[in-house]
Structures are given as C-alpha cells and as structure tokens.
Amino acid sequence: MKKSILPLAGAALFLTACGADNETNSNENNNATAGNNAGSEELYEVAVIPSQSIGEMEEGLTRLEDHLADSMDREVEVTHYPSYNAVVEAINFGHVDLAYFGPVTYLIAYEQSGAEAILTQNIDGEPYYYSYIITQPDAPWESLDDLLEDAGEVEFAFGSQSSTSGFAVPGYELMQRGVYESESTYEFESVQFTGSHDITADAVASGSVDAGAIDSAIFNALIDDGLINEDDYKILWESDQLYQYPWAVPAETDEDTIAAVQEAFMEIEDEEILNIFGGADSFVEASPDEYESILEAARALELLELEEEEDEEEANEEDTNDEE
C-alpha cells in the first residue's frame, strides 16, 4: 500500500509529459477500457482521499489491498492521496481504476470525465445521512421557516465550502428560499464558513452564531463520543436523504470489472477496513442516480470546478467524519 503520491503540481507535469506518448499509442489502445489505462492489465490501482491521517488509515488500507487482490485475483495497489483534487485528477486522466471521495468531489469527476459511482457504504444499517440546520435549545425558532422570518437578525454558519452537508445541500436550500446567493450576497445578518463540522457545533452551542449547518452523522458521533452535549442544540431542518461517500470508476470501465469490484467490496466483513470508512457496517452498490440531488445543488452553487490550492484541514473536513 502506497502512503502518498507526488504533489498535484508534479503529477500535472507528469501528465503533460506523457501526453505525446498517449496520443502516439492511441490506435493501439482503442479497445482498452479506461480502467486498464491506469497501468498494466494485472495491476488494479485504487485512490483513497485523506479522510484521516495516514497513520490512522494505514492498517485498514493494507488489509483492503490484500482483500481486493485475493478476491479479484490480480495485483492491487491502494494509494492514500494527498488531497481531494489529486484524486479527481487521477481518475479524470485514467491513472487509477477506482477512487473513493466525497459526494461533491465525486461530482466534479462525474462532470469532467464521466466517472461512475458503483459503491458506497452502510453506516448504522443505512447508506445515507442528512444535513441539519441547528440552533440553541432556547432560541425562539422551532423550524427553518421561523428562522428565516428573522433572517436579517441571524448570524449563520456553514462548514467547509467543499462539504456536501455543511454547505452544498443547506446552501442550495437557502438559495431556493431566497436568503442566500453567494458568500457576499445574502439576507442574514452575517454568514461565515467555520471550516469543519465540530467548529460549527461549538459555535452554535456557545452562541457565537445563531444557527449553523452540520452533517447528521458527525453531529451524532460528536454526541456519542461526549464531545458535545445533545441538550445544547435544537434541530430546525433536516435535508432529504444524502448518499454516503461513493467509490467510482473511470468512464467506460467494463461491466465485468465493475461486477468484480462490487462483489469484492460487498464480501468485506473486516472491521479494520470498515472502520476507516466512517465506521461502515458493509459496502453496497450505488449509481450516479443516487447523487443527482447533490449534483443539482453543486451546479447551482458553482462548486464543480477544482480549486488551485486546497488547505489540508479543509480537505480533511469534507468528511474525516463527514460529507459527508
């Protein structure tokens, strides 16, 4: 299992240098799948986002690598990538056969290169989570409608701009309700981006903001771990179901390979592997259809472009415990 790859800038130079060779050999590769373009037919390359530190993920990723190799009967290499953007670049250019990332960053790859979601994970028996808008228990509002009647007096917090549940989905809801347009145009007294769900929870509990958007799974995990007190919050709004982080393959990956990958993942019962993917119970099939509602939100908020630079803390937030 590789611990890291070259920084994205270096990878981009490598891709440029390889461009001429790829064009020269294009006729030889007409019948190759996008997955096989990642390397030799024997090697199956998997990219994983930095959802936790490499030290925390290393044992589980090594076990995943071994399991996939045994199940698929081929050499497998799992690489812990340095950023979300690097994973998108890798799958867009066919340098990996499978990638795991957050919903919004998956949708960037889907829009740019046709990457296809094929798997996600069950957590607490379900493959989805929610976005919440929370406030203090003694706040005068009992619903989001109540809150928005006083929007001009409300200090509101999102999480990271790259987060599905901390920004994309609640931001789109507020956009549709006419109180949020952009980071600089809104009807609230103020809007801030805290950068992570736990900071949003602390800001709401302390009264630093009046309300904030948070991932339901992280909110419940913070309560279960004793890091926040459930009595310090009131939930004003819950989104529709949001599907968990997807595993995606490059466009035009053949159906036999997809079926083999899905079968291999759905066989996994090893807790060392499951725990590093949000404390999953199991892996289940997924498709691009499950992410359609998030795609609509991401398009409306113009989130489907890669950022030139991405702060490590912001990247890890999108779901160390998140996008969830």
The pLDDT value given to residue 58: 87
CA distances from 67 to 71, 80, 154, 248, 254 (A): 6, 17, 50, 18, 21
The full set of domain ranges for the chain reads 8-127+244-317, 131-239
- The whole-number pLDDT of residue 322 equals 44
Kindly state the helix (H) or strand (E) to which residue 58 belongs, with its residue range: helix 54-72
Q: Which pLDDT belongs to residue 51?
A: 57
State the chain's mean pLDDT as an integer: 84
Lowest mean pLDDT among 68-72, 88-92, 229-233, 315-319: 315-319
Query: What is the per-residue pLDDT for 42?
Result: 79
The predicted pLDDT at position 52 comes to 56
Exposure b/e, 212-236, CB count within 10 A at least 16 = b: bbbbbbbbebbbeeeebeeeebbeb
Residue 21: pLDDT over 90: no
The residue type at 65 = E
- Looking at 3.40.640.10, 1.10.760.10, 3.40.50.1220, 3.40.190.10, the CATH number of the domain 8-127+244-317 comes to 3.40.190.10
Q: Mean pLDDT, to the nearest integer, of 139-148? A: 98
Residue 167 has pLDDT above 50, yes or no: yes
Query: How does pLDDT run across 256-274, given as a tens digit for each residue?
Result: 999 999 999 999 999 999 9
Range ranked top by mean pLDDT from 1-5, 40-44, 222-226, 310-314: 222-226
Residue 25 has pLDDT above 50, yes or no: no
Q: What is the CATH number of domain 131-239?
A: 3.40.190.10
Contacts 24+ apart (CB under 8 A), 85-88: 85/8, 85/306, 85/307, 85/310, 86/5, 86/7, 86/8, 86/11, 86/47, 87/47, 87/48, 87/49, 88/112, 88/306
Of 29-33, 140-144, 177-181, 239-243, minimum mean pLDDT range: 29-33
Query: Is it true that 8-127+244-317 and 131-239 share their CATH fold?
Result: yes
In angstroms, the CA 217 to CA 123 distance is 9
Q: Which two tokens stand for residue 145?
A: 């409608």
pLDDT band at 308 (very low <50, low <70, confident <90, very high): very low
Quick one: angle between helices 84-92 and 8-24, nearest 10? 0
- Non-local (6+) Cβ contacts of 300 within 8 A are 172, 175
Q: pLDDT for 34-67, tens place per residue? A: 444 444 457 999 999 865 556 668 899 999 999 9
Q: How far is CA 86 from CA 9, 89, 94, 189, in A?
A: 9, 5, 12, 36
Q: What is the pLDDT of residue 54?
A: 64
- Pick from 221, 220, 280, 225: which is nearest to 100 by CA? 280
**What share of the chain has pLDDT > 90, as a percent?**
68
**pLDDT, tens only, 94-140:** 999 999 988 999 999 999 999 999 999 999 899 999 999 999 999 99
pLDDT confidence of residue 2: 55
| Segment 197-216, tens digit of pLDDT | 999 999 999 999 999 999 99
